[in-house]
Amino acid sequence: MTVFRFALQRYLEWSSEMTKAEQDRLVNFRHKFLQHAKLTGNVVETCRHFGISRQKFYKWKKRFEKLGAGGLCDQSRAPHRSPNETPKVVVSKILYLRQNYHFGAGKIRDFLLRFHSIRIAAASVQRILRKHGLHKLPGSQKHQPHGKRWKRYEKAQPGHRLQMDVKFLERIPGTKKRLYQFTAIDDCTRIRVLKIYDACNQETAVKFADEVIRRLPFRIHVIQTDNGAEFQSKFHWHLEGLDIRHVYIRPRTPRLNGKVERSHRVDDQEFYQLLDKDGISDDVHLFNDKLREWENYYNHNRPHGGLGGQTPFERLLAKTKTTSKSKRKLSRKS
């Protein structure tokens, strides 16, 4: 009886598409026609009665005599060796990225190629996730359908438009101070500048704008913000005085600042939820040191899904080369 239970358990694992009741019925059916042949002593009549071939009858009879009741369960049809099977080390990396970062198949493929020099198709990654029951994301990570699809856009050259916004951070346990992450992202390359302040007003917004201008390697033409109080007249005229146009998005349309909003979600998933809250305090300088490390990783190492697996810095280099080639062609024609 123990052998039968063990074999049945293996059969349940291999035949996951069948319900337990269907599997039990199949085993009972095989046991029934073997008992019928034993009672009647006529194999031909038994096969005709149960609608099976004699070849199939003797197959299960031989198995029953050799393994007992456990032999009536289907055996695995998987090969004993699979030379093309994905190595277990690669599978473990795929599962780790899915469980800890909620990456999709394409993003996992890009990460494995960039950081581990492992080439694997996105379809293979999805198959592995499905096999381990991780093909569905948690409810909080699922794509939310929209009644109307929004048109995506992207500026042609770096600096043509920057999106700027503020992320309100959760209070650190045991402290009363609130911190704010100011974010600027280039519409073309997705290069970001991040900095945390302990106040959210026009003065800090002006300081952050100066920081962005100083650190970005290209000229800024337009900065786009929402209608927050920190981006009002003082901030507006400061940019105009620097020959940078400042534009507001329409009220209650955060999707128009979609790139910076989406980058904030990446911050939550890949930085803040993994940050050791006990290892930091309300010290803005300490917090900014850690944020600067994350910013450098985002700009120089992290493959971006919206850029075809390139990093923002790689996109900047590609755009710079394209611009220089176009200028050479124009100079030759003139």
**What CATH number is attached to the domain comprising 205?**
3.30.420.10
Domain annotation covers residue 33 = yes
Task: Look at 256 and 327; give whichever has higher pLDDT.
Answer: 256
- CA-angle at 312, arms to 311 and 316, nearest 5°: 115
Q: Give yes or no: residues 21 and 121 share one domain.
A: no
- 128: domain CATH number is 1.10.10
CA 302, CA 293: separation in Å to the nearest integer?
A: 12
Q: Give yes or no: residues 208 and 308 share one domain.
A: yes
Domain hosting 47: range is 2-72
CA 32, CA 179: separation in Å to the nearest integer?
A: 73
Q: Give yes or no: residues 46 and 172 share one domain.
A: no
The confidence score (pLDDT) of residue 152 equals: 64
Domain annotation covers residue 40 = yes
pLDDT tens readout for residues 103-141:
889 989 999 998 999 999 999 999 999 988 888 876 555
- Closest of 231, 230, 303 to residue 266, by C-alpha: 303
Domain annotation covers residue 77 = no
pLDDT tens readout for residues 223-234:
999 999 999 999
Element (H, E) at 194: strand 192-197
Query: For residue 333, is pLDDT > 80?
Result: no
- Closest of 65, 72, 66, 57 to residue 6, by C-alpha: 72
Domain annotation covers residue 80 = no
CA 258, CA 249: separation in Å to the nearest integer?
A: 11
Collapsing DSSP to helix, strand or coil, 302 comes out as coil
The confidence score (pLDDT) of residue 3 equals: 47
CA 192, CA 185: separation in Å to the nearest integer?
A: 4
Domain annotation covers residue 215 = yes
Domain annotation covers residue 148 = no
Q: Give yes or no: residues 20 and 129 share one domain.
A: no
Q: Is the pTM of this model over 0.75?
A: no
Domain annotation covers residue 142 = no
pLDDT tens readout for residues 235-276:
999 999 999 999 999 998 888 999 999 999 999 988 988 776
Q: Give yes or no: residues 262 and 171 share one domain.
A: yes
The confidence score (pLDDT) of residue 101 equals: 82
Domain annotation covers residue 213 = yes
Q: Give yes or no: residues 115 and 205 share one domain.
A: no
Q: Domain count for the chain, please give it.
A: 3
CA 148, CA 151: separation in Å to the nearest integer?
A: 10
